[in-house]
Chain A
Amino acid sequence: MSDVAFWILAPLLVAGALGVILSRNLYHSAYCLAGVLVTTALFYLALTAPLVAAVQILLYTGGVLTLVVYALVITASSEDAGRWRRPVPAAVLALLVFVVLAGMLRGLDASGDPLGGLDDGAAAGAALFSRYLVPFELLSLLLLGAIFGALAIARREERS
């Protein structure tokens, strides 16, 4: 991935992430999250994985955002009332996690040129339906279970 692409996309990603946690209006948060997800999809494109980018936009941005906005529409309050809860410990902990994670990079072997070549998705698709067929089918079971679970939980109780 080129330097230019990185330095255009990285500020967008960070700005979107800050928008998600800083906006009081939750619709704005959701739209900022959409920006973050699309920017990540562009990162995936630059990282030679167009299949993942397509899935990211279709499933993640399309599916998740639709669900969240729909939940906001039928919710009474889409404003986040009041200030942060425990902002200082939260900020300290988040900073600590960042420092620890960044410190782990020192042990990283990032030498040599990136190999890339995650290619056009054909190899990933073939692997998905041969070597990883069982996990793939389990995943479809999981999604089915999630649909039934969501329906069962959110269903309004009928009392006669």
Chain B
Amino acid sequence: MTLERLLVLAFLVFSIGLFGVLARRHVIAVLLSLELMFNSVNLAILALAWHHGWLEGVILVLFGIAITVAEVAVGLSLFLLAERVRDTVNVDDLSRLKG
């Protein structure tokens, strides 16, 4: 019962984050929505680990958090570079890599 509620909550936050990634225009807004999705995945993993008593879940979440921090550092520096070179903060204007 509680596990299901926790997972539904994590799925809800995941979907909200997905909407933000698809619908926001500012690059940092997209990045923040992405964090929302990462965070809900971690919550789902830990809820399952708690229900089944898996210690591995804790390790997995710890690794996930560290990887997310690395991802944010690189993502933000890419954003700063894009803003400086192309002079825009809008994801629609950053489409030069499209074929």
Contacts and interface: CB of A to CB of B under 8 A. Distances in A.
A55 to B, nearest CB: 6
Q: How large is the interface on B (under 10, 10 to 19, 20 to 34, 35 or more residues)?
A: 35 or more
Interface in B4-38: 4-9, 11-20, 22-26, 28-29, 31-33, 35-36
Contacts, number: 237
Q: How large is the interface on A (under 10, 10 to 19, 20 to 34, 35 or more residues)?
A: 35 or more
A115 B58 CA distance: 14
A94 B80 contact: no
Interface of A: 1, 3, 6, 10, 13-14, 17-18, 20-21, 26, 29-30, 33, 36-37, 40, 43-44, 47-49, 51-52, 55-56, 59-60, 63-64, 67-68, 71-72, 74-77, 79-82, 84-87, 89-91, 93-95, 97-98, 101-102, 105, 108, 110, 114-118, 123-124, 127-128, 132, 135, 139, 142-143, 145-147, 149-151, 153-154, 156
Contact of B89 (A59, A68, A77, A98): A77
A133 to B, nearest CB: 11
